[in-house]
Amino acid sequence: MECSAPPLAHDGGSLEAALLAAEYGIPTGFMTMAACLTTGPASVAGTLAVGNAEVIAATALLQLAFPGAPVFYAAAQTASDLRSGAYTGGGPEDFLFGAATNVLSDFYNIPLSMGSFATGAKEPNWQAGLENSLSTFMASIVMSDMLLGVGFLHGSRIWSYAEMMMDCEIFSIIHKMMQGIVVDDGTLALDIIAAVGPGGNFLSQKHTLKHMRDVFLPQFMDRRPYNEWEEKKDEARDWALAKARKILATHQPNPLDPNLSAELAKIIAANEK
C-alpha cells in the first residue's frame, strides 16, 4: 500500500514501487489521508472528492501499465484541528469518511482497505476506545473489505502494543455484533424456559452448557467485583501490555516452508554481495 501526497499529488518513489508490485501481480492500493481544512476543503464532501481523485488517478495508472493488476482502494481521511491545523485522527468526520469511502470503492468495484483504527489519542485511554470503536463499527456496518490501523495512536504517529491488544478486543466485540441474533428452536429455548419456570435459574440446564460459549467473554473489560477493583486498581492498559509482553517473549511462529525459506535465503545472499 502506498500513500498519496494530498492534495492531488503522488510521490514518485511510491508510484515506482506500486508499478513494480503491479508488474508481479502483488495487490496494490493507494491511501489518501487528505484532511479537511488543510490538504482538503473544509467540507467532508470536498475532501472526499480530493481523496477519490488521488486514489483513482494512481489506480488508473496501474491499470494502464498492467491491465488487470490486482488493486484496492485505501483511505484514512480526517479533519484538521481548528486550533492547530494538525492531522487529528478520530472524530465524527472520520466515521463518515469510513462509510462514504466504502460507497466510492463499491462504485468502482474494487476492495476497500479502511483506516478504522487511527485514534488521535496519545495513549491507550477512553478517547482511543471511543474513537476506534465508533470508526470500526461504522466501517463494519457498511461492509468494508479490510480494516487497518490496529495499535496506532496520535493519528498513526505512535505504535502501542497495549493499544493493539485492546483494538483487537474492540474488533472482537464488533465482530460479535455483526453476527446478529440467531433465531431458531434451539436459541429460543422455549422448552427450557417452560421447564425452569418462574423464579428458577438456568445455570444447571444442559442448554446453558451447550450455548455458554456463545456469550462474549472479554479479556480487557473490567467486570470484577468492586471490592477487587478497589484493592488492585489495575486496568485494561496494564493487562493488555502484560499480554503483549508475554506474546513477544513466548510466541513461536510457524516456520516457513523449507523450499520458500531456501529461496528467500538465496535472494538475501544475492543482495548482500
What was the pLDDT predicted at 123?
96
- Tell me how crowded residue 32 is: count the other CB atoms within 10 A of its CB: 31
Tens digits of per-residue pLDDT, 163-179? 999 999 999 999 999 99
Give DSSP secondary structure letters for 169-217.
HHHHHHHHHHT----SHHHH-HHHHHHH-TT--STT-HHHHHHGGGS--
Please tell me the distance from the alpha carbon of residue 117 to that of residue 104, in angstroms, as a whole number.
Answer: 20
pLDDT of residue 43: 97
Chain centroid to CA 227: 35
At residue 270, the pLDDT reads 87
Determine the Cα–Cα distance for residues 203 and 75; give it in Å rounded to an integer.
47
Residue pair 88/81 in contact (Cβ under 8 Å)? The answer is yes
d(CA 141, CA 175): 10
Of the candidates 97, 207, 90, 99, the residue with the CA atom closest to the CA atom of residue 144: 99
Alpha carbon distance 101, 110 (integer Å):
11
Rounded CA gap, 29 and 62, in Å? 10
- As a residue count, the chain comes to 273
Question: CA-to-CA distance for 82 and 63, rounded, in angstroms?
Answer: 38
CB under 8 Å to 191, separation ≥6 — which residues? none
Q: Which residue has the cell 508510484?
A: 15
Start-end of H helices in the chain = 12-23, 44-65, 92-108, 126-141, 161-178, 185-188, 190-196, 206-211, 226-232, 236-250, 258-272
Cell numbers linked to 61: 495508472
Hey, which residues does 153 pair with through a beta bridge?
Answer: 158
* Predicted local confidence at residue 73, as pLDDT: 97
- Judge whether 173 and 140 are in contact, CB under 8 Å: no
Predicted confidence pLDDT, tens digits, the chain (273 residues) = 999 999 999 999 999 999 999 999 999 999 999 999 999 999 999 999 999 999 999 999 999 999 999 999 999 999 999 999 998 889 999 999 999 999 999 999 999 999 999 799 999 999 999 999 999 999 999 999 999 999 999 999 999 999 999 999 999 999 999 999 999 999 999 999 999 999 999 999 999 999 999 999 999 999 999 999 999 999 999 999 999 999 999 999 999 999 999 999 998 998 886
Q: Cell 488521488, residue?
A: 54
Among 96, 77, 90, 95, smallest CA distance to 34 is for: 77
Residue type, 74: A
For residue 273, the model assigns a pLDDT of 66
Query: Quick one: pLDDT at residue 271?
Result: 81
Give the pLDDT confidence of 54-99 residue by residue, as tens digits: 999 999 999 999 999 999 999 999 999 999 999 888 999 999 999 9
